[in-house]
Amino acid sequence: MASSQIIILAIIATSLATFISRFMGALTSEKVSVKSRVFQWFNCIAYSTLAALLGRMIIFPAGVLDESNLVTRVFVLVICISVFIFSKKNLVIPTILSAILLSFFNTI
């Protein structure tokens, strides 16, 4: 099997897995109360997974992010979290600011 065929097959498989889980979530969402323990458990799992991924990106970066040092990444994270909180939880401003700050500190 050619490399391009494997990539296309991987995209189709991951898309199906994503859409099937979303479809099942849409079907069962009417039965789950937002204040139930099951919903709170899934919410905690989602936030912990996100925190683990962000922690991995900051402590063990890959790709271009690996070119910056740990102090710079943590500093940019603290600044962007502060901007996120003070901008009434706007996601656009800290995202753009993080790219600007990382590129600025990497050129110094």
Contact predicate 76/102, CB 8 Å: yes
Task: Confirm if 40 and 47 have CB atoms less than 8 A apart.
Answer: no
Q: What is the pLDDT of residue 33?
A: 81
60-72 per-position pLDDT tens digit: 998 888 889 999 9
Calculate the average pLDDT of the chain: 90
- Give the closest residue to 101 by CA, choosing from 89, 83, 87, 85: 83
Give pLDDT, residue 2: 77
Element (H, E) at 97: helix 92-107
| Mean pLDDT confidence for 28-50 | 86
pTM of the model: 0.63
Per-residue model confidence (pLDDT) at position 78 = 95
